[in-house]
Structure 1
Amino acid sequence: MSGCQGCRQPDTNFDLAMAFQPIVDIETGRAWAYEALVRGPNGEDAGQVLAAVTEANRYAFDQQCRVAAITQAVAAGIVETGARLSINFLPNAVYSPVACIQLTLKTAAAVGLPTDRLVFEFTENEEFADTAHVANIIDTYRRMGFATALDDFGAGHAGLSLLARLQTDIVKLDMELVRDIDTSQPRRMIVEGLIAMFARMNIVVVAEGIETTAEYETLRALGVRYMQGYLLARPGFRILPPHALPEPASIGQVA
């Protein structure tokens, strides 16, 4: 690891806390995964924390986020739930996929979180300096038994062209595709087409940003099994918050 560019960056200590939001399997009603969302030590929002991240300290930030996510999720009880832990990471902060994962592996082993329950997600809103390098990270993580997720699909720098080069295990539909999908025929048609395409590619679809029962019902009718959003549960600061599906009486009444 001595030759890793990240390891030569100056040390920066971030005082990080995590909030956890469930990704719910609507067929079982259980949390399929919990996404770890970075916060300040007193619950400050992600924007305030990310404002302190620079090119010089992003490696330290990425590494410390992974440690905080794993240790705080285990402290909150994730091991007993059987759910996965989805950790946001910065591909541009990973200089060597094998070297840069070592602290993550050590931390998971120390707190008893099986590494096959780790999901690493990145957003297409981040502009990549080297797409081939990101593809190598995804391939390396897959060989090591981790799942990867492309967040905010449908927004940002690419979209389908990025997916053609970076095929992750999971794709999370951006909330702009979800918002008002019950009243927007174009959104329904786009999401329906994406679901069919992802099924052929063996990619799991997660719909995020769900805020209304009508959105939930429409997505359910389209075949989306995994959902995330305020309708089901808001993020819990340092805890795994309870979640709930809409009342059964409303299911099936899709506009």
Structure 2
Amino acid sequence: MAVGCAGCKDGKAFEVPFSMAFQPIVDLDRRRVFAQEALVRGSGGEGAGSVLSRVNDENRYAFDQQCRVKAIELAAKLSPGATDELLSINFMPNAVYEPRACIRLTLATAERLGFPLDRIVFEFTENERVDTSHLLRILETYRTIGFKTAIDDFGAGHSGLNLLARFQPDIVKLDMELIRDIDTQPAKRIVVKHTLAMLADFGITPICEGIETEGELQVLRDLGVTLVQGYLLARPSFEQFTQPVLLAA
């Protein structure tokens, strides 16, 4: 553990240059941007794979640290004025040895730039296999500090309902495969309908991602969904915030 913490404390061990694109999450009812999700890109805007393919067990800790710093620095530059838009940052639970030790650089960056902690959402994907007890320690620590937490790709990963029964994050993002063609596949509509009801019982905010067609969007609107993300509304924009196409309800 000592070696890992030494390697990730300043984020300098990952030497591949990279930057971020941002994709908005849209509040349809309020017709505004709810959050901007930071997505890793190559330094010239190349796809995420050009960077993620260089991440390994030796440098994932530093990479995770650099992602947090880069996302906050860019977001602070792109939205220098007062705003309540959230910044969603993906993190790797397996890159966190001890939650409070590994969050120091993030806290220092936010303080240096005057970026409010309650505007930061840390989201993790269910697709990464991780020790549930370790993950819970991270999420509980982040909540105590003042960050918001989110599960990404819900319904496609390893932990699913078992994790949700033990910890209720602020946000759950439904996996895009549940959304794809929901307007022509009644079974998906049933799954999403009951998932939304469960999240409502927990007091968790749902986000439906991966929306590509007006038909998909209309079904979600009929189901009461207000927060959405996808190419229909806006594609990721390299090193900039873009205003989404706000479709009529």
TM-score, L = length of structure 2 = 0.94
- Name segments (4+ residues, structure 1) moved above 3 Å: 78-81
Tell me: CA distance 1:147–1:110, structure 2 relative to 1, closer, same or farther (3 Å). same
Unaligned runs of 5+ in 1: none
**Cross-structure match for 2:94:** 92
Structure 1 stretch 60-69 or stretch 180-189: which is displaced more? 180-189
* Corresponding position of 1:109: 111
Contact 2:25 2:33 in 1 (8 A): yes
Corresponding residue for residue 7 of structure 1: 6
Matching residue of 2:204: 203
Give the number of equivalent residue pairs: 246
User: How far, CA to CA, are the matches of 1:79 and 1:73 in structure 2?
Assistant: 11
User: Does structure 1 conserve the Cα–Cα contact (< 8 Å) formed by 2:7 and 2:62?
Assistant: no
Displacement after TM superposition at 1:163 (Å): 2.4
Q: Which residue of 1 aligns with 2:21?
A: 19
- Paired letter, 2:230: G
Which residue of structure 1 aligns with residue 153 of structure 2? 152
Amino acid at match of 2:127: N
Change (3 A) 1:62 1:215: same
Q: Relative to 1, partners in 2 of residues 1:16 and 1:78: Cα closer, same or farther, differing over 3 Å?
A: farther
The Cα of 1:193 is off from its aligned counterpart by: 0.2
**Deviation for aligned residue 1:214:** 1.1
> Can you give the 5+ residue segments of structure 2 that lack an aligned partner in the other structure?
none
| 1:224 matched to 2:213 | no
User: Is the 8 Å Cα contact of residues 28 and 228 (structure 2) preserved in structure 1?
Assistant: yes
**Partner residue in 2 for 1:47:** 49
| Shift in Å, 1:3 | 4.4
After TM superposition, give the deviation of residue 154 of structure 1 in Å.
1.2
TM-score by length of 1: 0.92
Per-residue deviation, 1:53: 0.4
* Change in 2 beyond 3 A, CA 1:70/1:79: farther
| C-alpha separation in 2, matches of 1:233 and 1:12 | 30
Is the CA contact 1:208–1:227 (under 8 Å) kept in the aligned structure 2?
A: yes
The answer to whether the Cα contact below 8 Å between 1:78 and 1:240 also exists between their aligned partners in 2 is no
